[in-house]
Amino acid sequence: MKKISLAVASIMFAGVSAFAASDAVLLEKATNSGLKAIPQSQLEVLKLVDDPKNPITDAKVELGKKLYFDPRLSKSGIISCNTCHNLAMGGVDGVGAAVGHKWTPNPAHLNSPTVYNSVLNKAQFWDGRSPHLADQAQGPMQAAPEMAAPASLVVQRVTSMPGYVEEFKKTYGDDVKVTFALIADTIAIFEKTLITPSRYDAFLNGKLNALTDAEKEGLNIFIDKGCASCHNDIGLGGTMMPFDASKYDLNVGGFTGTKDGMVKTPTLRNVEETAPYFHNGNVWSLNQAVKLMGDIQLGMKISDADATKISTFLKSLTGEKPEIKYPQLPVISDKTPKPDMK
């Protein structure tokens, strides 16, 4: 009996060792393909996203959160950053085209990208025109199809509320001048905290059992098919890549990227929560999106079976969200400009 037990144990141990070796090979393959994990250490994450010229503090994060949720930063007084980048819905709005001022869909039928992990992007906006979040945050507030508020109106609204004035002083000092740029910078500081580590990151950080066998198989196919050539680094996207938006009727709205045909690669983090997909929100199925990318970007047919396996891996990218408590916003004053629906 002892001999039989030892033999069985030997076989089981060999099997476990084989799986561990296979997992280690996959981990090395992922690393060599340019895939990187969100660091386990909060200090390392801070080093990754912080700006020494305007460092992250708890006070700035709290103030930025209030501004992010405040619809009074829009001309109408009813659209906030959270309207299109809803933190309860994967950081998106769940519609094909973003809806802005006067309930008007984006004229180029552009889809709202997720705000979660957006700090990891190398470029912001679908055409990559902004290099970082602080610059990006200025755009939607002023854009006519979005919040439609001139910079001067945003500043006037914020500085007319004593609660905001006091909070800016406590956060930045008594001599602070509340400018439009500072308001946008403060929103960006809050957005920098919206990072969502997942089981995928745990796997890349060396916890080899963090992914299921099916997810590991999907990751392997994801790499072998070439998906990681664009969706790589920590952000699994966020860089500018050539993309022919006119193929397969995806060019709803007329957007074709930059003059050179470059489009920002969307992050795949939390992708199961961010449908519809592509720059124009024209695809609702994750499996279909995977197959279309094979056709459009990789020049290959991805089978239904492989698309399902890749999607299984992609769902492991759904991360742990920071806990967000809805803020109580400052009270308006007699000087606060009234909402304007025109």
Give 166-216 pLDDT, tens digit per residue.
999 999 999 999 999 999 999 999 999 999 999 999 999 999 999 999 999
List the one residue out of 2, 71, 94 whose CA is nearest residue 327.
Answer: 71
- Positions marked active-site: 146
- If one counts every other C-beta atom within 10 angstroms of the C-beta of residue 137, the result is 26
Describe the chain by its helix, strand, coil percentages, rounded to 5.
45, 5, 50
- Residues 306 and 287: their CA atoms lie apart, in Å, by 9
Inform me whether the pLDDT recorded for 154 exceeds 50: yes
List the one residue out of 191, 163, 215 whose CA is nearest residue 50.
Answer: 191
- Residues 151 and 116: their CA atoms lie apart, in Å, by 25
Please compute the mean of the pLDDT values over residues 272-289 and round it to a whole number.
96
| Domain boundaries along the sequence of the chain | 34-44+196-317, 45-191
pLDDT, tens only, 281-320: 999 999 999 999 999 999 999 999 999 999 999 999 999 9
DSSP 283: B
Inform me whether the pLDDT recorded for 321 exceeds 80: yes
SS3 state at 262: strand
SS3 state at 100: strand
Is 231 among the annotated ligand-binding positions?
yes
SS3 state at 157: helix
What is the CATH number assigned to the segment(s) 34-44+196-317?
1.10.760.10
- If one counts every other C-beta atom within 10 angstroms of the C-beta of residue 246, the result is 12
The pTM of the full predicted model, rounded to 2 decimals, is: 0.92
Task: Please determine whether the domains at 34-44+196-317 and 45-191 fall in the same fold group of CATH.
Answer: yes
Is 227 among the annotated ligand-binding positions?
yes
Pick the CATH number of 45-191 from 1.10.260.40, 1.10.1740.10, 1.10.760.10, 3.40.1350.10: 1.10.760.10
Is 240 among the annotated ligand-binding positions?
no
Q: What percent of the chain has pLDDT over 90?
A: 89
pLDDT recorded at residue 13: 44
Which pair of tokens denotes residue 130?
A: 């902004």
Split at pLDDT 50, 70, 90, the class of 244 is confident
Split at pLDDT 50, 70, 90, the class of 19 is low
Please compute the mean of the pLDDT values over residues 96-113 and round it to a whole number.
95
List the one residue out of 271, 252, 273, 260 whose CA is nearest residue 314.
Answer: 271
pLDDT recorded at residue 6: 46
Is 109 among the annotated ligand-binding positions?
no
Inform me whether the pLDDT recorded for 217 exceeds 90: yes
Tell me the helices (H) and strands (E) count for the chain, helix number first. 13, 4
Inform me whether the pLDDT recorded for 3 exceeds 80: no
Split at pLDDT 50, 70, 90, the class of 20 is low
Handedness of CA 286, 292, 293, 298 (dihedral sign): positive
pLDDT recorded at residue 250: 66
Inform me whether the pLDDT recorded for 249 exceeds 70: no
Is 81 among the annotated ligand-binding positions?
yes
- Residues 340 and 87: their CA atoms lie apart, in Å, by 26
**Full DSSP string of 81-141:** HHHHSBTTTTTB-SSSS-EEGGGEEPTT-PPPPP-TTGGG-SSBSTT--BSSHHHHTHHHH
Split at pLDDT 50, 70, 90, the class of 127 is very high
Please compute the mean of the pLDDT values over residues 133-141 and round it to a whole number.
96
Split at pLDDT 50, 70, 90, the class of 253 is confident
Q: Tell me the average pLDDT of the chain.
A: 93
Which pair of tokens denotes residue 82?
A: 């959270």
